[in-house]
Chains A and B, each alone.
Chain A
Amino acid sequence: MSMRSQVYEWSNLAPGTVVGGGVGSVLNRSQNDLPVQVPANVSTDIFIGGIGNNITKPAETTATQFIVIEDISCTPDLAGSVQVRINTTDYFQNPDVTQMNGVPGTASPYPRGAPSVNPTGTGANTATGTVITTFPDNLLKSFDLYPDIYVLPGQVFQILYTTVQGTGATAFAGNTAGQVVSAFVKYTLYDGPDALIANKLLELGVTINPNNIDWYKRSLIEQQTRSAVAAAAAPTNGGGQ
């Protein structure tokens, strides 16, 4: 399995208490996860940012790996955006080449079809029947990550989530606090020989995707076949003279 479709989903959920909300980050999700506060206007690495579910080390490619990021998206509420950083370079920039937060969740929502505002109540007591949630819209994507983003062997990459408004501090302080937000990245991991082919395609200026990797493999096989046929035919065509 040298080409594998992979995803990573992040949410600001980590174990905590009902009163205090979730705290910090966690490697493994659990049923006791609660919303962790995400500060406003702070870019959070969804892999090792210290908020919500994280992994053990920065996301990076080894010398024999090649990653193609094909989709990024996040919760549209709270003016959330998602940015890709390769080593120290942010991928999305303003037209004046200044830093920006990245692709807004309203342009690339997760989940697709999500409401632009997190479901919320209008009253304090559900038992009285005063709370009726409305889902005003079903956002679809306005943004398609094409061309894809390549992470070359040996590079470190980050997916940064930023919310302009920030989430609530305490899970149950009120109906507007303790929002849950998510970010999502879909990528294809090429490993071993397929990573070498991906590098070769990059040199050739050919788009790296599973189809083109297969095409290159077929080309190699056909080339070898032609060479073998030519070598076999050589004695017949005068090799003895």
Chain B
Amino acid sequence: MSMRSQVYAWNGANNNTTLANNAATAYGTFNNLSGTQISIFIGGFGNNITKPAETTATEFVVIEDISCTPSLNANAGVATNDIAGVIAGAGAAANGVGNAAAQLNTGQLATWQLTNNLAAGAAYTGCSAGVFGPRMYVQVRINTTDYFLNPDNVTNAGIPGTASPYPRSLDFQPSFNLYPDVYVLPGQVWDVRVTSFARDSAAAASIGAGGATVAVAYTGDWGKAPAGTAGIVAGDAVMNGIDFNAFCKYTLYDGPDALIANKLLEMGISINPGNVDWYKRSLLSAQGM
């Protein structure tokens, strides 16, 4: 098996089975890590692997797709989930812990509640600032170089999940296709890194504005369930690590196929299984077979 299609799916829930999804690990919780870029391989959050992703001298990796959890624009300060259904008890308990498909309003936005906390008053501790989702981005890094840049050549957070959603649904379809592919040459270290600009309101602080102190509205915050509402665990975080996903699809060329991949690279030919096979056939033809 010298050409292998591979995937790596990452979820931000902690991988400690003794903890709830939104419970803190030794590293904290991913949903409170707003603005910090994290490796999906060795970032210390969610499912990880044992060492940095790298190619050996006889390996060649072609990254063909990356994607992450999408977001949806909304009008600020409004609800986008069926709170009535939650209160009525249909799947309420499950929704309280953040995994009830029954409360799904749209696509993969299950478990996300964008609450109008200002209108609801003290019952809600969360805020919404007009984005329904984690505002999540995914970047590829080869050795120390980020792949995606702004037009001013400054590195950015990467591909928005809204442009390359994972999982895909009717509501969220890709606007982005990773073409040309990203090549990881033999001996290189590569990484897929995610950044979210949402945050759990449990860490809500306050900021001064014109001398007054007002509550911080975290963009993309789904808020917290209202305390004391029937069927919902008081203060249970609606957003937690399980709501953050990332996905990477790549092909691993090993041994002779990695050598052929290098040869194709020299020749300016796209590296894909079809072209590797074409090169093998060419070699066989040259030998009279």
Contacts from A to B (Cβ < 8 Å): 1, 3-9, 11, 13, 17-21, 28-35, 47, 55-57, 59-60, 71, 73, 75, 77, 110-115, 118-121, 124-127, 129-133, 135, 138, 140, 157, 168, 171-172, 174-182, 184, 186, 188-189, 210-211, 213-214, 217-218, 221
Contact = CB atoms under 8 A, between A and B. Distances in A.
A113 B182 CA distance: 27
B163 interface: yes
A9 B163 contact: yes
Q: A-side binding surface: helix, strand, loop or mixed?
A: loop
Given A32-B216, A138-B170, A57 B152 contact: yes
B79 interface: yes
A222 to B, nearest CB: 9
A112 B219 contact: no
A129 B207 contact: no
Contact of A132 (B82, B123, B182): B82
Interface stretch (B49-57, B143-151, B240-248): B143-151
B127 interface: yes
Interface string B96-118: 00000000011100000011101
Contact of B163 (A47, A111, A213): A111
B20 interface: no
Interface residues of B, number: 87
B259 interface: no
Contact of B76 (A47, A56, A179, A184): A179
A133 B74 CA distance: 10
A31 B200 CA distance: 10
A125 B116 contact: yes
Contacts of B106: 115, 135
Contacts of A5: 176-180
A32 B207 contact: yes
A115 B170 CA distance: 11
Contacts of A9: 160, 162-163
A113 B170 contact: yes
Contact of B131 (A13, A20, A124): A13
Contacts of B216: 18, 32
Interface in B159-217: 159-160, 162-163, 165, 169-180, 182-183, 197-199, 207, 209-210, 214-217
A54 to B, nearest CB: 9
Contacts of A77: 73
A13 B162 contact: no
B86 to A, nearest CB: 8
Given A4-B147, A120-B78, A138-B170, A29 B73 contact: no
B148 A177 contact: no
Contacts of A119: 72, 74-75, 78, 80, 114, 132
A111 B133 CA distance: 13
B124 A114 contact: no
